[in-house]
Structure 1
Amino acid sequence: MVSPNAPVPRVHEGKVAIVTGSARSIGAAIARNLASKGANVLISYLTEGSDAAAKALAEELSTTHNVKAVPCRGDITTKEGCEKIISTCKSEFPAHAKTGTLQVDILIHSAALFHAMPLEAVTVEDFHKVYSINVLGPILLTQAVKPYLPTDRSGRIVSLSSVGSKVGLAYLTLYGGTKGAIEAMTRTWARELAENATVNSINPGSTMTEMFANAPDAAKEAIALFYPLTPLSPVREWDADEMKELGKKYGGRVAYPEEIAGIVGMICSPESSWMTGSLVSANGGQWFSG
């Protein structure tokens, strides 16, 4: 008989999760969510400027949730950068009990370069940079991770798209285009990787992050046109002061990073094993899942 006081096993206890773009913002919130459920987390990020944030997050997750959290700076738009992520996982995380080698149970494609410019301002250089990070990066990293995925369909791959791709937000010629590609790849990978993992994507709307804060006013005003039609956009009395100020200026609230992370966490749960190839709404109802 199991004691009623026995600790309840966490759903991701001992699993390995790779979260790109996770030194800050939504990626960091996703890393926290998965770590709280027992996952060991590889905190993947791109620039030297994020070294301190990634290190601090790794220490936070390790201390708070008693998991192994490891920062790794690498460029996922190169095979060398992806190989560095895999080699770091091999050296830092315990081998899987059954296979004796690395198993990557969860892969989250959160890293992205935001671009919001009118059509006439888009350049060839912008195109290659945005598509390289937002589309080529997930392709190369998924290629690198594929040999290490589970073989019993228990794996989870989740990519972050954007509601801007669905509703056609102004100024998102490049960013929205890359997210449309992410959604198409999600459906393809759901079939190709069916024996390894479920593959789904979510499409967040605007979220209280540095990316949103640094977006041009014109882009924020274009987004604000949708607030009257978004069911969960009204600001509530318990919202943070920063969110209340945003509501006063633009007429509605955006998401908190942890709200987006919660939806990713739901998709990664064992209970979501019968869902794959899906695009899940994560935008307060700005776009309803079909």
Structure 2
Amino acid sequence: MSRRLDGRTALVTGATSNIGRAVATAFAAEGAHVVVTGRDAGRGEEVVARIRAAGGRGDFVAARLDGSLRASRDLAAEADRVLGGRVDILVNNAGIFPGWTTADTDEATFDEVYAVNVKAPYFLTAAIAPAMAGRGGGAIINLGSWVARLGIPVGTLYSSTKGAMETLTRAWAAEFGPAGVRVNAISPGVIYAPEPGQTGTHPAEVMMRGTPAGGTGTPDAVAHAAVYLASDEAAFVHGTVIDVDGGRVGVAVIAA
């Protein structure tokens, strides 16, 4: 049976844990050669070992995407080298979430969050997308968030960065789409896996009350959407944001 990403190469940022790890693992299972990247080499090698144990192809490239042009260009160049001269799929997943309320956010935190969450993927895309366009095709998947479109009283800084990424998705689709590069985004809802032995109700679970799903999602749910957007099945999908959020943004369930 043909796998959906056979013969393709992929770079997944922030791939050493949670959503990024699930996306990298799913891509490899579908036949892609995946570069797993992140700051923690130990966790990165664990992901690569998992990919290889399942018969897939994966390599770890350490990267500290601090928002600098150099860091993004260096990662793009190393991924290109490891993957044999091309990156077919780019997933801009890496991000940080410090800073809860507006008044509690200092300038250094503001600059750091925008550097990691917006500047880094911006310059990484700038380093990779033109080569995709030159080859006549490729896929870029950005990670947004449900809090970019449904206001909540915490995480204001983070939500604004995810709003920026969703806007860039549409702008990049217009810029690179005519050359065959599909740019789309996924907006995850509350993704949370309870720790073994955990008791009580976690705040993440409370956030999903009143939704059709009625509970939190898993990283695999996001990975399934990423595989679709990276594959030929999504050949006619450009500049869209797929909500993988259990209905959190668009639907309200009124309990009897």
AA partner of residue 93 (structure 2): S
AA partner of residue 20 (structure 1): T
> Structure 1 pair 288/152, CA: closer, same or farther in 2 (3 Å)?
farther
Q: Which whole-Å CA distance do the structure 2 matches of 1:75 and 1:209 have between them? A: 26
Q: Secondary structure at the match of 1:126?
A: helix
AA partner of residue 190 (structure 2): S
Q: Secondary structure at the match of 2:213?
A: coil
8 Å CA contact 1:17, 1:39 repeated in 2: yes
> Structure 1 pair 61/150, CA: closer, same or farther in 2 (3 Å)?
farther
8 Å CA contact 1:25, 1:209 repeated in 2: no
**Residue of structure 1 in register with 2:130 after alignment:** 147
**Residue of structure 2 in register with 1:14 after alignment:** 7
Please state how far the C-alpha of 1:165 moved relative to its aligned partner.
1.2
Is the counterpart of residue 64 in structure 1 residue 54 in structure 2? yes
8 Å CA contact 2:98, 2:113 repeated in 1: yes
AA partner of residue 144 (structure 1): A
AA partner of residue 212 (structure 2): P
Q: Secondary structure at the match of 1:122?
A: coil
Q: Which whole-Å CA distance do the structure 1 matches of 2:162 and 2:203 have between them? A: 18
**Residue of structure 2 in register with 1:38 after alignment:** 31
Out of 63, 88, 93, the residue aligned to residue 74 of structure 1 is 63
Please state how far the C-alpha of 1:64 moved relative to its aligned partner.
1.1
AA partner of residue 176 (structure 2): L
Range with bigger deviation, 79-88 or 133-142: 79-88
**Residue of structure 2 in register with 1:281 after alignment:** 243
AA partner of residue 37 (structure 2): S
Gaps of at least 5 residues in structure 1 are 1-7, 95-101, 213-218, 234-252
Is the counterpart of residue 111 in structure 1 residue 104 in structure 2? no
8 Å CA contact 1:231, 1:285 repeated in 2: yes
Q: Secondary structure at the match of 1:121?
A: coil
Q: Which whole-Å CA distance do the structure 2 matches of 1:175 and 1:258 have between them? A: 22
Is the counterpart of residue 265 in structure 1 residue 249 in structure 2? no
Aligned length: 243
AA partner of residue 228 (structure 1): R
Render the CA deviation track for 1:145-175: whole Å, top value 9, x for unaligned. Answer: 1233155654111111110111112212100
Q: Which whole-Å CA distance do the structure 1 matches of 2:20 and 2:36 have between them? A: 9
Please state how far the C-alpha of 1:16 moved relative to its aligned partner.
0.9
CA RMSD of aligned residues (A): 2.2
Please state how far the C-alpha of 1:180 moved relative to its aligned partner.
0.6
Out of 207, 211, 218, the residue aligned to residue 191 of structure 2 is 207
AA partner of residue 27 (structure 1): G
Q: Which whole-Å CA distance do the structure 2 matches of 1:140 and 1:272 have between them? A: 25
8 Å CA contact 2:99, 2:109 repeated in 1: no
**Residue of structure 1 in register with 2:83 after alignment:** 93
Please state how far the C-alpha of 1:203 moved relative to its aligned partner.
1.1
Larger Rg: 1
**Which stretches of structure 1, 4 residues or longer, exceed 4 Å deviation after superposition?**
150-153
AA partner of residue 156 (structure 1): A
Seq. identity, %: 26
Gaps of at least 5 residues in structure 2 are 196-201, 252-256
8 Å CA contact 2:48, 2:59 repeated in 1: yes
Out of 88, 92, 110, the residue aligned to residue 127 of structure 1 is 110
Please state how far the C-alpha of 1:60 moved relative to its aligned partner.
1.8
**Residue of structure 2 in register with 1:98 after alignment:** none
Please state how far the C-alpha of 1:32 moved relative to its aligned partner.
0.7
Q: Which whole-Å CA distance do the structure 1 matches of 2:123 and 2:176 have between them? A: 15
> Structure 1 pair 66/279, CA: closer, same or farther in 2 (3 Å)?
closer
Q: Which whole-Å CA distance do the structure 2 matches of 1:10 and 1:61 have between them? A: 15
Q: Which whole-Å CA distance do the structure 2 matches of 1:114 and 1:209 have between them? A: 18
AA partner of residue 208 (structure 1): Y
Calculate the TM-score normalised by the size of structure 2.
0.88
**Residue of structure 2 in register with 1:166 after alignment:** 149
